[in-house]
């Protein structure tokens, strides 16, 4: 048992004795005015205490924090920037004969990641060579017909026919080269295709091994530009309305801290969690954040004078009969006021309803009031 737990139990056990000792000097008239019953309970949810009894019980008084802006503290997950992550797939099926990058290695855009050997690659490369030869022949025929037409040996229609044939051959050659480019690029031999990196970044996934036969569209690599990462957040619907794109997000983890900006707030709730997904972008050029890492985020809230946020210390909230309550100071003690809570805001918790913000409340050791309230209710039942 920790020292804190021991002190809490000791206070709960001794509080009735302290209250009785401090209250022994009160007159019968005071007892009638406050309507005190045995155990210090006068009405439902009410605990009658004098100022001296509050002091002896070490109950700390304070007021709710009221402001038009604050911060939400909630868990979040580091993810790769969707715009900076790309899968590298095989456009044609075949056998992997070369893998030029391993996990964690950097790659530049256009650099070769893998080479695939297949019959389809040979057909594509062969068509490029054949179309190149046809184009050379068509250009040669066009040049000859133009020369003969200039010498008034051939008619103009022969020149037109030769020019049309040359144009068709050039289009066929361009198409053949584009098909090879779409498949990856030349692999050094007619039966090989090179798969190039579409972006610069770091290899974060490799799905194949050397010598493996893959089908068309099979994923080979996943490359991510991790100079910036995204922060995945899930907000309560009521809190999502108080956050704007561009809001500051502070991220903390053991030994690290960074600041980013909210870039996206979903207009729809997640069907599974009934929460609002949001994304913030963090600068990760130092490489201190890892994809999949769980962190703590503090998101700045927006507000105005007509929409002020009320929050109380988390220690001020107790649970009585399944409801969250805050003990509000009255002239002769405390009353348990039911509240509706929102997310955490630093060391505080947001109060959606139940408080006006001007009340004096028990901000520490309120568990003693909960124990005394339970004692009074138990006495009434008997």
Q: How far is 136 from 170, CA to CA, in rounded Å? A: 9
Same domain, 127 and 143: yes
Q: Which residue has the higher pLDDT, 318 or 68?
A: 318
Co-location of 200 and 100 in the same domain = yes
Same structural domain for residues 183 and 244? no
CB 78 within 8 A of CB 292: yes
Q: In the listed set 224, 241, 269, which residue is the last one of a domain according to the structure? A: 224
Residues 104 and 167 in one domain: no
219-224 sheet: strands from edge to edge:
85-89, 219-224, 201-206, 106-107
Interval 243-248 mean pLDDT: 86
Q: Which residues pair with 87 in a beta bridge?
A: 222
| Residue 381 parent element (H or E) | helix 366-381
Total structural domains in the chain? 4
If you ran DSSP here, which 8-state letter would residue 290 be given? -
- Tell me what percent of the residues of the chain surpass a pLDDT of 70: 81
139 and 181 together in one domain: yes
- DSSP state for residue 78 in the 8-state scheme: E
For residue 165, what is the domain's CATH number?
1.10.287
DSSP 365: S
The model's pTM:
0.48
pLDDT band for position 5 (50/70/90)?
very low
CA distance 48 to 62: 18
Give the domain-ending residue among 300, 319, 351. Answer: 300
Amino acid 67: pLDDT: 63
Same domain for 205 and 317, yes or no, is no
Task: Identify whether residues 149 and 130 lie together within a single domain.
Answer: yes
Q: Is 378 exposed, middle or buried (0-12, 13-18, 19+ CB in 10 A)?
A: exposed
The per-residue pLDDT for 38 is: 38
Of the given ranges (82-96, 135-149, 269-283, 367-381), which has the lowest mean pLDDT?
367-381
Q: What is the C-alpha to C-alpha distance for residues 132 and 120, in angstroms, rounded to an integer?
A: 18
Q: Is 83 helix (H, G, I), strand (E, B) or coil?
A: helix
Pick from 264, 284, 300: which residue ends a domain? 300
Q: For residues 67 and 168, what is the distance between their CA atoms, to the nearest angstrom?
A: 73
Residue 244 binned pLDDT confidence (cut-offs 50, 70, 90): confident
What pLDDT score does 55 carry? 87
Taking the alpha carbons of 262, 265, 271, 275 in that order, is the dihedral positive or negative?
A: positive
CATH of the domain at 38: 2.40.420.20
Q: Summarize pLDDT for 257-309 with one digit per residue, the tens.
A: 888 899 999 999 999 999 999 999 998 888 888 888 999 888 877 654 445 67
Residue 107 confidence (pLDDT) above 70: yes
- Does an H or E element contain 377, and which? helix 366-381
Strand partners, 295: 76
Report pLDDT digits (tens) over 308-321. 678 888 889 999 88
Range scoring the smallest mean pLDDT among 65-74, 238-247, 369-378: 65-74
Confidence of residue 246 (pLDDT cuts 50, 70, 90): confident
pLDDT over 90 (residue 334): yes
344 and 288 part of one domain: no
- Specify the long-range contacts of residues 342-346, CB closer than 8 Å, at least 24 apart: 342/236, 342/238, 342/239, 343/72, 343/73, 343/74, 343/235, 343/236, 343/239, 344/72, 344/73, 344/74, 344/314, 345/70, 345/71, 345/72, 345/73, 345/301, 345/309, 345/311, 346/70, 346/71, 346/73, 346/298
CA-based nearest residue to 97, from 198, 223, 195, 217 = 195
211 closest CA partner among 112, 115, 87, 122: 115
Mean pLDDT of 347-357: 85
Same domain, yes or no, for 133 and 185? yes
Same-domain check for residues 46 and 143:
no
Looking at the fold, whether 233 and 296 belong to one and the same domain comes out as yes
- For residues 154 and 166, membership in a common domain is answered with yes
Mean pLDDT of the chain: 80
Q: Which of residues 129 and 336 earns the better pLDDT score?
A: 336
Over residues 59-88, the mean pLDDT reads: 81
Quick: pLDDT tens for 117-169: 888 777 777 788 888 999 999 999 999 989 988 888 889 898 899 999 999 99
Most confident by average pLDDT, 42-56, 178-192, 283-297, 366-380:
283-297
Q: How many CB atoms lie within 10 A of CB 133?
A: 12
The whole-number average pLDDT for the span 190-218 is 87
The boundaries of the domain holding residue 19 are 3-68+307-381
Q: Please say if the pLDDT value at position 371 is more than 80.
A: yes
Query: Which whole number is the average pLDDT over 20-44?
Result: 43
Q: Of 15-24, 47-56, 78-87, 270-279, where does mean pLDDT reach its minimum?
A: 15-24
Would you list the DSSP string of 264-275?
EE-SS--TTT--
């Amino acid at each position: 048992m920790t020292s804190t737990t021991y002190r809490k139990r000791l206070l709960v056990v001794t509080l009735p004795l302290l209250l009785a000792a401090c209250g022994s000097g009160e007159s019968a008239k005071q007892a009638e005015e406050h309507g005190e019953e045995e155990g210090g309970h006068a009405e439902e949810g009410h605990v009658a205490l004098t100022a001296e009894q509050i002091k002896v019980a070490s109950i700390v008084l304070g007021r709710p924090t009221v402001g038009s802006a604050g911060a939400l503290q909630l868990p979040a997950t580091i993810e790769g920037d969707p715009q900076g992550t790309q899968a590298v797939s095989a456009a044609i099926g075949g056998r992997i004969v070369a893998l030029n990058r391993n996990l964690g290695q950097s790659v530049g855009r256009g650099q070769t990641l893998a080479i695939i050997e297949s019959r389809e690659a040979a057909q594509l490369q062969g068509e490029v060579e054949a179309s190149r030869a046809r184009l050379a022949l068509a250009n040669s025929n066009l040049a000859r017909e133009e020369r003969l037409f200039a010498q008034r040996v051939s008619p103009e229609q022969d020149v037109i026919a030769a020019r049309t044939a040359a144009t068709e051959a050039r289009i066929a050659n361009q198409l053949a080269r584009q098909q090879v480019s779409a498949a990856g690029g030349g692999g050094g031999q007619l039966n090989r295709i090179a798969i190039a990196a579409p972006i610069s970044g770091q290899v974060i996934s490799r799905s194949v091994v050397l010598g493996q036969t893959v089908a068309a569209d099979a994923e080979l690599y996943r490359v991510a530009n991790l100079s910036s990462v995204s922060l995945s957040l899930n907000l309560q619907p009521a809190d999502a309305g108080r956050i704007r794109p561009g809001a500051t997000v502070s991220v903390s983890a053991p030994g690290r801290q960074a600041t980013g900006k909210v870039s996206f707030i979903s207009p729809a709730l997640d069907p599974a969690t009934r929460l609002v997904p949001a994304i913030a972008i963090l600068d990760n050029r130092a490489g201190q954040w890892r994809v999949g890492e769980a962190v703590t985020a503090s998101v700045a809230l927006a507000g105005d004078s007509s929409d002020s946020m009320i929050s109380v210390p988390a220690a001020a909230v107790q649970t009585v009969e399944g409801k969250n309550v805050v003990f509000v100071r009255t002239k002769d003690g405390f009353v348990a006021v039911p509240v509706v809570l929102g997310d955490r805001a630093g060391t505080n918790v947001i109060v959606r309803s139940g408080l006006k913000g001007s009340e004096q409340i028990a901000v520490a050791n309120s568990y003693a009031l909960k124990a005394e309230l339970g004692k009074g209710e138990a006495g009434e039942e008997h």
